[in-house]
Amino acid sequence: MRLNRKYPRLQAQPLLRRPWSFPLLGALGVICWVATAASTPDNPIAGHPSAAHFSLVTQMPARTALQASAHYIPKANQIGCPYQPTVLHFNTPLAETPHSSDFKVPLGYELPDCKLYLSEVSFETEALYGADNLNRSISHSGSIAVRDNLRPGVSGFPSSGEKQYEGLCDWEIIDPDALVGPGQVLTCHALDDQGRVIGGNRKPSKLGGTLSLEDLQGKRIRLNLKMNEQP
């Protein structure tokens, strides 16, 4: 549903840009992501990100990319804010080798007579499992919920000011003879300090957790994903 006023949103574009994939880019443009951080908003005059931010550092396996989507909403008691929620995208490249990226994620988005605040950062992971451009899969790999205050017992940031999330991605074969993808489905789950999937095979957990908005300012979050190399 659209409101009368257009809200700023950063749009995703095709991520994979290889000469051999040119004939397919038109069909895949709606499902792929740009291989850069954030593109130009629809209406740059309408608003701008806040100066307060946290750093998101990602480490990705070869032929795997991440889209981090930062969601912004008004405070519950804020009135006179005629905008839909704003979403900013921060995307890594789909490179042939392991690669890292570093982004500054704003904690707010300022609009005329209204300020939106970061409420969630969600993660989508895309990877290729074959030579063909259609041999790809996208998976929801987790999220970070941002709250004004944490419940008792919920841990915040370590004293170092850096929080790290480890994840493992794997392939589930659904049709080994598929001529048009996906013949395999990508899954990504969180790892504990011992390198084991949190929740085990029966109920594996996604990456992320809950953090407070105040604690995030000036902090660093590292998101390290690796691919299961076992056959």
Tens digit of pLDDT for each residue in 102-125? 999 999 999 888 899 999 999 999
For residue 185, report the phi and psi dihedrals to the nearest 5 degrees: -115, 130
pLDDT confidence of residue 76: 76
Segments of the chain assigned E as strands: 48-49, 53-60, 64-73, 86-91, 99-106, 108-111, 114-128, 136-147, 162-173, 184-191, 207-212, 220-227
pLDDT confidence of residue 77: 77
pLDDT confidence of residue 173: 77
List the chain residues with pLDDT less than 50.
Answer: 1-45
**Amino acid at the residue 219:** K
Pairing of strands 136-147, 207-212: parallel
pLDDT confidence of residue 79: 75
Q: Residues 109, 206, 219, 89: what is their CA dihedral angle, to the nearest 10 degrees?
A: -30
Cα–Cα distance between 70 and 105 in angstroms, integer? Answer: 7
pLDDT confidence of residue 40: 34
CB neighbours of residue 15 within 10 Å: 20
96, two tokens: 């042939």
* pTM metric for this prediction: 0.75
pLDDT confidence of residue 57: 97
SS3 119: strand
Tens digit of pLDDT for each residue in 146-188? 998 877 766 678 888 999 999 999 998 776 665 555 578 999 9
pLDDT confidence of residue 172: 86
55, two tokens: 């750093």
CB neighbours of residue 95 within 10 Å: 16
For residue 206, report the phi and psi dihedrals to the nearest 5 degrees: -80, 165
Domain ranges for the chain:
19-227
Q: Is the dihedral of CA 122, 182, 191, 33 positive or negative?
A: negative
CB neighbours of residue 209 within 10 Å: 16
